[in-house]
């Protein structure tokens, strides 16, 4: 399905499921999310279930697979925890389950799930994710992500939703240093930011995200649709880069 | 698919001939706390044209952040040179009463300024403090617009403080910059209940969690959290009415297409989109939109909606 202006958008950052706090408009179910995607001009989404973030990863990871089943426009992700507490399967088991369930990317919520993003906590897992190029969508401040990348410099890390304030003074040194670092665009609303980023670096380091329902539906989509960049760059950010990241993930 | 012809027009062309934007909250110049690629004036003018912005009402960063005298003078140059693109807010620093008194005496002689801009969180003076009273009395006497930066739970400009001055100065017309971010229910109720208070959409469309920022907030105290903001426009329109919501972007901070996208892809009517994107601003700005030929003596605000027969 082509969108109104001919562009298709593949959203790497959106959620469905219930919330404990008031959210003015959200998608309680996968089908409600698809309806919101239709309204917001989004063709496909790499999703998480709110239970992965706010209930428990073990609960949410099961629900996201179950509730996206039979809906090819929704691709599930799983939330990851440190191994030490034994709350998730052993790494080999986890990777095998990811392959069987069609999960090709993982999400980390270190603030909500309360762990460090460091070598001590993640030494046993990150080297494997780095080698297998499994994309990690991490919701954390850039100084924490910088710390993780210092230990695992070739990790494929997608980050965004950093809050509204422009962060390029923090972000650009990291982009120059770490080749696997990618920014998603739901939090990249500084005017001219996408254009400047593509000119200085490469469109290959950006992926489209709506941030739904944390952020307002339609905002990031129109920003990218009307960004002053080449059509090739727009296509890459809107669709191709995320597709490529998922295809490059190697599962046993 | 969103059935709105206006949304489709913006998606396909980036702007709309029938539903242009008047941006009630912009700035000029670079900012100390972050890199703003669109801050050079020519770059900003280019961005305004791309989004079909009929006029933007700005205050200068220098005036807000450090030197009101220099920044206001720079703003004056821009509204003089580009009257069909820019109008201005005169920045008031309540910590400098002598300059404020002098500036207010000269206000009516200046063309291109529609009102005053307050930044209480950064000047560290509560908006209901006596230090703001001379400027508020002046705005009240002339029926001026007053754009006030507001943030939830701030000791300087939380929505409740804005409501207090809104009631005390009923002829001044207040724009709640950022709509009292985070204290949404209270802000919207204030705009619903006070005829002279309006909600400004600047930077309300993104979840704001300063714990996610390495440097935290530049404000003196971490503001209210708002982890999920989708649907806020719908709530504002349903509760306060589309006639109480104005478009703002903080340009050169934030993309006008980002802000427009949130309005265009909200579940509201196209009539409400017209109100938010330009009609309310047209009512508030009145003859200021006619350009520099209007003399200061003739600069009267348009008839307020609530005053219309």
Q: What is the pLDDT of residue A2?
A: 41
Evaluate whether residue B190 is within a structural domain.
Answer: yes
CA separation, residue B24 to residues B19, B87, B301 (Å): 15, 9, 15
Residue that is written with structure tokens 């990317």 in the block: A105
Q: What is the pLDDT of residue B229?
A: 92
- Report DSSP state, residue B31: B
Q: What is the pLDDT of residue A92?
A: 96
The total of structural domains in chain B comes to 1
Domains of chain A: 10-248 (3.20.20.140)
Q: What is the pLDDT of residue B140?
A: 98
B183 pLDDT above the threshold of 90? yes
Q: Domain residues for B69?
A: 5-13+22-29+41-206+229-286
Q: Which residues of A touch B5 (CB under 8 A)?
A: none
Which residues 126-145 of B are in CB contact (within 8 Å) with A?
none
Are residues B51 and B21 in contact, defined by beta-carbon separation less than 8 angstroms? yes
Residue in B with minimal Cα distance to A214: B228
Are residues B75 and B63 in contact, defined by beta-carbon separation less than 8 angstroms? yes
Q: What is the pLDDT of residue B224?
A: 66
* Mean pLDDT value across residues A215-239: 97
Question: B249 at the A interface (CB within 8 A)?
Answer: yes
Q: What is the pLDDT of residue A164?
A: 67
Evaluate whether residue B247 is within a structural domain.
Answer: yes
Q: Which residues of A touch B218 (CB under 8 A)?
A: 165
Q: Greater confidence, B157 or B303?
A: B157
Q: Would the CB atoms of A226 and B258 count as touching at under 8 Å?
A: no
Collect all residues with Cβ–Cβ distance below 8 Å to A231 and sequence separation of at least 6: none
Confidence class for position B10, pLDDT limits 50, 70, 90: very high
Evaluate whether residue B293 is within a structural domain.
Answer: no
Q: Which residues of A touch B50 (CB under 8 A)?
A: 226, 228
Give the mean pLDDT of chain B.
Answer: 91
Q: A28-77: per-residue pLDDT in tens?
A: 999 999 999 999 999 999 999 999 999 999 999 999 999 999 999 999 99
What is the C-alpha end-to-end distance of chain B, expressed in Å?
Answer: 39
Q: What is the pLDDT of residue A187?
A: 86
Give the mean pLDDT of chain A.
Answer: 94
Of B294, B297, B292, B286, nearest in space to B107 by CA: B297
Q: B209-241: per-residue pLDDT in tens?
A: 666 666 666 776 666 677 889 999 999 999 999
Q: Greater confidence, B225 or B306?
A: B225
**Proportion of chain B above pLDDT 90, given as a percent:** 84
Q: Which residues of A touch B207 (CB under 8 A)?
A: 161, 163, 211, 214-215
Of B262, B263, B5, B51, nearest in space to A220 by CA: B262
Neighbours of B69 (CB within 10 A): 15
A238 vs A247: CA distance, rounded Å: 16
Q: What is the pLDDT of residue B181?
A: 93
Q: Would the CB atoms of A24 and B232 count as touching at under 8 Å?
A: yes
A173 pLDDT above the threshold of 70? yes
Write out the two tokens for A192.
């001219």
* Mean pLDDT value across residues B139-157: 96
Q: Would the CB atoms of A191 and B214 count as touching at under 8 Å?
A: no
Q: What is the pLDDT of residue B223?
A: 65
Q: What is the pLDDT of residue A4?
A: 52
B67 vs B63: CA distance, rounded Å: 5
Q: Which of A192, A214, A222 sits opposite B228 (nearest CB)?
A: A214
Residue A59 β-bridge partners: none
Q: Which residues of A touch B256 (CB under 8 A)?
A: 191
B6 vs B253: CA distance, rounded Å: 24
Q: Which CATH number goes with the domain that contains B78?
A: 3.20.20.140
Neighbours of B34 (CB within 10 A): 17
Residue in A with minimal Cα distance to B251: A191
* Mean pLDDT value across residues B109-132: 96
Q: Would the CB atoms of A222 and B209 count as touching at under 8 Å?
A: no
B271 vs A23: CA distance, rounded Å: 25
Q: Would the CB atoms of A167 and B259 count as touching at under 8 Å?
A: no
Q: Which of B47, B215, B261 sits opposite A191 (nearest CB)?
A: B47
Of B299, B110, B81, B36, nearest in space to B91 by CA: B110
Collect all residues with Cβ–Cβ distance below 8 Å to B129 and sequence separation of at least 6: B94
Evaluate whether residue B306 is within a structural domain.
Answer: no
Question: B49 at the A interface (CB within 8 A)?
Answer: no
Q: A96-152: per-residue pLDDT in tens?
A: 999 999 999 999 999 999 999 999 999 999 999 999 999 999 999 899 999 999 999
Of A122, A192, A189, nearest in space to A157 by CA: A122
Q: What is the pLDDT of residue B306?
A: 41
B307 pLDDT above the threshold of 90? no
Q: Which residues of B touch A43 (CB under 8 A)?
A: none
Q: Which residues of B touch A38 (CB under 8 A)?
A: 1
ipTM above 0.90, yes or no: yes
B63 pLDDT above the threshold of 70? yes
Whether the full predicted model's pTM is greater than 0.90, yes or no, is yes
């Amino acid at each position: 399905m082509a969108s109104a202006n001919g562009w298709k958008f593949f959203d790497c950052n959106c959620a469905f499921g219930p919330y404990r706090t008031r959210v003015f408009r959200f998608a309680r179910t996968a089908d409600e999310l698809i309806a919101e995607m239709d309204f917001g001009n989004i063709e496909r989404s790499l999703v998480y279930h709110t239970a992965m973030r706010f209930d428990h990863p073990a609960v949410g990871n099961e629900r996201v697979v179950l509730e996206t089943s039979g809906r090819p426009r929704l691709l599930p992700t799983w939330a990851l925890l440190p191994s030490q507490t034994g709350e998730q399967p052993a790494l080999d088991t986890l990777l095998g389950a990811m392959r069987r369930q069609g999960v090709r990317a993982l999400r980390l919520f270190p603030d909500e799930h309360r762990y460090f993003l460091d070598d001590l906590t993640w030494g046993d897992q990150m080297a494997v994710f780095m080698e297998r190029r499994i994309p990690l969508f991490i919701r954390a401040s850039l100084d924490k992500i910088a710390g993780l990348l210092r230990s695992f410099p070739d990790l494929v890390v997608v980050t965004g939703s950093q809050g509204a304030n422009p962060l390029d003074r923090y972000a650009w040194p990291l982009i120059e240093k770490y080749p696997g670092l990618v920014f998603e665009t739901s939090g990249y609303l500084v005017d001219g930011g996408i254009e400047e980023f593509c000119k200085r670096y490469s469109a290959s380091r950006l992926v489209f995200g709506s941030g739904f329902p944390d952020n307002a539906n339609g905002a990031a989509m129109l920003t990218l649709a009307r960004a002053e960049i080449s059509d090739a760059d727009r296509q890459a950010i809107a669709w191709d880069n995320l597709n490529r990241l998922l295809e490059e993930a190697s599962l046993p | 698919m969103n059935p709105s012809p206006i949304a489709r027009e913006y998606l396909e062309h980036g702007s709309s001939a029938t539903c242009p934007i008047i941006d009630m909250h912009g700035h000029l110049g670079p900012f100390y706390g972050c890199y703003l690629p669109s801050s050079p004036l020519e770059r900003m003018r280019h961005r305004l044209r791309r989004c079909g912005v009929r006029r933007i009402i700005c205050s200068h960063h220098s005036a807000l952040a450090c030197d009101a005298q220099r920044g206001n003078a720079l703003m004056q140059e821009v509204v003089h040179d580009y009257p069909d693109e820019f109008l201005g807010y005169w920045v008031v620093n309540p910590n400098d009463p002598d300059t404020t008194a002098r500036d207010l005496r000269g206000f009516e002689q200046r063309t291109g300024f529609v009102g005053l801009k307050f930044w209480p969180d950064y000047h560290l003076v509560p908006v209901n403090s006596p230090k703001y009273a001379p400027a508020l009395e002046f705005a009240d006497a002339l029926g001026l617009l007053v754009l006030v930066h507001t943030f939830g739970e701030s000791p300087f400009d939380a929505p409740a403080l804005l409501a207090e001055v809104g009631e005390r100065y009923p002829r001044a017309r207040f724009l709640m910059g950022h709509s009292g971010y985070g204290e949404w229910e209270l802000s919207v109720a204030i705009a619903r209940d006070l005829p002279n208070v309006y909600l400004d959409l600047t930077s309300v469309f993104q979840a704001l969690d300063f714990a996610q920022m390495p440097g935290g907030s530049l404000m003196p105290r971490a503001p209210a959290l708002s982890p999920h903001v989708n649907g806020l426009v719908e709530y504002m329109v349903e509760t306060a009415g589309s006639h109480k919501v104005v478009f703002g972007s903080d340009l050169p901070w934030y993309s006008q297409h980002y802000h427009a996208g949130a309005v265009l892809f909200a579940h509201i009517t196209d009539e409400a989109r017209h109100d938010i994107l330009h009609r309310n601003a047209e009512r508030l700005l009145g003859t200021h939109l006619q350009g520099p030929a209007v003399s200061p003596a003739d600069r009267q605000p348009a008839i307020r909606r609530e005053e219309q027969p």
